């Protein structure tokens, strides 16, 4: 009871922070001096996110494509070890990229799709860990996680390619 209450409070605080911080901190109001520092960290998080998605994709989707699903053993250990880091990096990616200054129009559109897919991937992985859904629900979430992950992997790959071959004035 207490852990659930704390979790609900934490989520509410997070939502509230985004609402307040996002509403008051528009791109036009952010001072220019913060741009280069933030860009460095944002780039770092972005690379880390690409690495995390790569590992998760190899372990998860790779297992599926090679016909060895479900994951087990060391593959599962690696996947579950990287997953929390992925969740944090996606959050930072969302907070840092929401203003759209770092991306071109197409990349910005991909950014929002990535966030949407990531949200589905994270929730479809963690909701079944709660004592809420039975076997049919577990199957459903497993399939949602599987296909959302596939979509996320493709979107991130496209976004990364777009970032690599971006025009120089959008650094």
Query: Which residues ranging from 80 to 99 are in contact with another protein (CB under 8 A)?
Result: 80-81, 83-84, 87-88, 90-91, 94-95, 98
Least distance CB 51 / another protein (angstroms): 17
Q: Both tokens of residue 102?
A: 């770092």
* Neighbour count for residue 82 (Cβ, 10 Å): 19
- The answer to the question of residue 122 lying near another protein (CB under 8 A) is yes
For another protein, the binding residue among 44, 106, 133, 170 (CB under 8 A) is 133
Q: Is 19 in the site for another protein (CB under 8 A)?
A: yes
Alpha-carbon torsion angle 119, 121, 122, 128, nearest 10 = 130
User: Taking CB under 8 A as the rule, does residue 31 contact another protein?
Assistant: no
Smallest gap from residue 125 Cβ to another protein (A): 7
């Amino acid at each position: 009871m207490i852990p659930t209450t704390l979790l609900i409070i934490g989520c509410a605080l997070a939502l509230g922070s985004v609402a307040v911080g996002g509403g008051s901190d528009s791109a036009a109001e952010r001072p220019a001096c913060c741009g280069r520092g933030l860009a460095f960290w944002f780039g770092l998080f972005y690379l880390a996110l690409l690495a995390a998605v790569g590992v998760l994709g190899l372990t998860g989707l790779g297992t599926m494509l090679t016909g060895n699903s479900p994951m087990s053993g060391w593959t599962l250990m690696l996947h579950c070890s990287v997953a929390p880091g992925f969740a944090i990096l996606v959050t930072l990616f969302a907070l840092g990229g929401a203003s759209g200054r770092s991306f071109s129009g197409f990349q910005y559109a991909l950014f929002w799709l990535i966030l949407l897919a990531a949200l589905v991937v994270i929730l479809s992985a963690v909701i079944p860990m709660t004592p809420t859904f039975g076997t049919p629900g577990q199957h459903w979430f497993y399939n949602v996680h599987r296909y959302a992950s596939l979509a996320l992997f493709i979107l991130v790959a496209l976004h990364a390619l777009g970032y690599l071959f971006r025009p120089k004035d959008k650094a």
